Amino acid sequence: MTIATHKGIEILVVDDDPDTREFIAFVLREAGANVTEVASAIAALSALCHKQPNILISDIGMPDMDGYALMRQVRSRSVPQEAQIQAIALTAYAGERNQQAALAAGFQAHLAKPVDPAQLIATVAQFAS
């Protein structure tokens, strides 16, 4: 499965774990996406000032600022494109309560780690269409 039919789709991947971040970026690039990778929520907020991705994929459990706080900040920004960005929470916190917290923070989807590449691509393709 690819997202190549959505040529030019821009995705921002936020994860403090380099192996996970690189794996997610690799899977998405192989599927045809343009990917920007950052290691923290602070770096993600900075990246959003320079580039407007179609989709943001963020880990939840990160130091300094977690994914929930990142999403709340993105949703509260005055730039309409940022406030409306599609967002996917990607986390080892996979319980029902965690899923509800992700949705309440402003994510549209919640995927559990370890990442299933096919599920990741399918979710991204759903939001890209």
Cα–Cα distance, 116 to 9 (Å, whole number): 20
Binning pLDDT at 50, 70 and 90, where does residue 81 land? low
CB 78 within 8 A of CB 101: no
**What's this model's pTM, rounded to 2 decimal places?**
0.92
Here the tokens at position 117 are 């590449």
Q: What is the pLDDT of residues 84-102, one digit of tens each?
A: 899 999 988 778 898 899 9
Taking 70 as the threshold, does the pLDDT of residue 110 lie above it?
Answer: yes
Taking 90 as the threshold, does the pLDDT of residue 17 lie above it?
Answer: yes
Cα–Cα distance, 90 to 58 (Å, whole number): 6
Q: Please list the residues that pair with 56 across neighbouring strands.
A: 12, 87
Q: What is the pLDDT of residues 27-62, one digit of tens each?
A: 999 999 999 999 999 999 999 999 899 999 999 999
pLDDT score of 30: 92
Domains and CATH numbers, the chain: 4-128 (3.40.50.2300)
